Chain A
Amino acid sequence: MESVATSQSATGLGSPASTERPLIYRQSRWTRLTHWLWAISLFFMLLSGLQIFNARPQLYIGKQSGFGYNNTIFEIGAENTSTGTRGYTEIFGHRFDTTGVLGWSGPAGNETARGFPSWATIPSYYDLGTARVIHFFFAWILTTTLIVWFVASLVNGHIRRDLAPRLDDLKRLPQDIIDHAKLKFHHTREYNTLQKMAYGGVLFVLLPLMVITGLAMSPSMNSVLPFLNEVLGGRQTARTIHFTVMLLLVGFFVIHILMILAAGPINELRSIITGWYRTDPPAHDDKTPERSA
């Protein structure tokens, strides 16, 4: 699958050989296909998930929700105040006014009490049943894609070659962080250390944890895997973890997009659509090619 094509004509400048930026085949068809299936399914799962959360915009720790006692750690709500209804968000007992976005939102003069605002949910109107239909449809897509990716990436060497961290990666980490902070990007066939950590973390930690905590919330699956909730700290803790992983995935998405914009969106998009990626010119005055940091 390793291919290299020179791209002098593409640059159109007749640049000397030393500054050639070769097009290399970087992303296999499996990586590209699963990437976009995840993008689609995570989009729908997030927005339908926020709708599902709106049915009970509270998170608890433990086996059950505290009604006769307090184990709520997160809450979005609305309250009447002297200045009218206000939306609030409470995290570990600390309350923030989030009127207009969380708790109390909608067109001016026509606001409603809802956890996440209309623009952030599918469907936009309150409908738990429909949100669940969408969520579970894409849960099947997401999980199937994860399994397909794992098998394909084991077979084609993607995991071993591109994602498995090596000792070198650890040594390069400080320089990698400095380079990222300076927005200095290297374009190579290989992922840099922070990329390996981010992609590996999403694929081997966050997405599996999302599936596991999702299954832990199913009363039917509790009869098959009763230990799951015990390990996770109870059904309501599993729900809280599910929500927290969502926040981490949204965080990953934001950084992912920022990195693509900073590193050259056309080149990055090309590689995840066609597989072909334009790399930095090889360093000829050095025996070992300059590694991405």
Chain B
Amino acid sequence: MAKFEISRRKFLTGASLGASGIMLSGCDAFDSQLSIGSGLRSFLENANGLTYRAQRLLAGRDALAPEFTEADIRQPQRPNGVTSPDDDDYKALLANNFADWRLEVSGLVEKPLSLSREQLMNMPSRTQITRHDCVEGWSCIAKWTGTPLSLLLDQAVVKPQARYVMFHCLDTIDRSLSGDIKYYGTIDLIDARHPQTILAYGLNGKPLPVENGAPLRVRVERQLGYKMPKYLYKIELVDGFADVGGGRGGYWEDNGYDWYGGI
């Protein structure tokens, strides 16, 4: 008994010294294990897949994000990220008030589309007052008007092997050694066909301003802001995204954000 007592005491002393050592020096050591692609990082990222499956199970395909009233619109929609694209092609389109802009729907579809802004706005629309939640932590309520993405998918006839919708944007969000990085992102077909997923051209009863993504941006109301690209010009149906950009399905995802942004 006495022997056990002493060894246990030694163990406890050693353990607490060890633990405090880890606490003090461990944070910096931990940092280096967290870079994208590292084993520990990849292991921790599994939680995102778990969250995705759990929330899909609970929320189903069509459960609606909360909608608000006109009285809840108390301020302009706060813009974030790129607010004034510097790209020549974008500036040329803007100078012409987007008369030459077209939305392309391509990839794994039977009938690729190329729609003018007018054609898009002549389609049935949906208006919704929803809350935009930024990954940073802030929220803002605004009224969005646009074409349900499901209508475009139906019109283009999605091939059975398609799994994701990839959004291609006109704005350069970053520059790398290999060139400009344009914003892009992906969502699954469940979110793409969700009743509140619209391609918005109107904000608070007015045309979508440049800072909020003119001429067209995505609204995916059950996800965070970084899943809703602005300055949209091409929608591509794909069966995977491993070969695009950093291979993680979006600009922010390539920079370490989780692909599933429903949390």
Contact = CB atoms under 8 A, between A and B. Distances in A.
Query: Do A and B interact?
Result: yes
B9 interface: yes
Nearest to B68: A63
Interface stretch (A77-85, A198-206, A269-277, A282-290): A269-277
Contact of A132 (B5, B16, B135): B135
Given A124-B28, A136-B51, A221-B55, A56 B223 contact: no
A223 B48 contact: no
A236 B76 contact: no
B50 A140 contact: yes
Contacts, number: 154
Interface in A207-254: 217-224, 226, 229, 235-236, 239
B88 interface: no
Contacts of B28: 124
A67 B142 CA distance: 13
A129 B262 contact: no
B91 interface: no
A129 B262 CA distance: 14
Given A64-B140, A140-B47, A269-B12, A129 B252 contact: yes
Interface residues of A, number: 52
B262 A219 contact: yes
Contacts of A239: 137
A127 B44 CA distance: 15
Nearest to B222: A220
A222 B66 contact: yes
A26 to B, nearest CB: 16
Interface stretch (A7-15, A91-99, A158-166, A177-185): A7-15
Interface of A: 7, 9-10, 12, 47, 52-53, 55-56, 58, 60, 63-69, 119, 122-125, 127-130, 132-134, 136-137, 139-140, 217-224, 226, 229, 235-236, 239, 266, 269-270, 273-274
Q: Which 8 A-B pairs have the closest CB atoms?
A: A68-B75, A220-B262, A129-B256, A56-B137, A65-B138, A223-B63, A137-B47, A129-B257
13 contacts: A12-B2, A58-B137, A63-B131, A67-B78, A128-B135, A140-B50, A218-B263, A219-B65, A220-B263, A221-B58, A221-B262, A223-B63, A224-B63
Given A223-B221, A269-B16, 11 more contacts: A10-B5, A64-B141, A65-B78, A66-B74, A67-B140, A68-B76, A136-B48, A137-B45, A137-B46, A219-B133, A266-B12
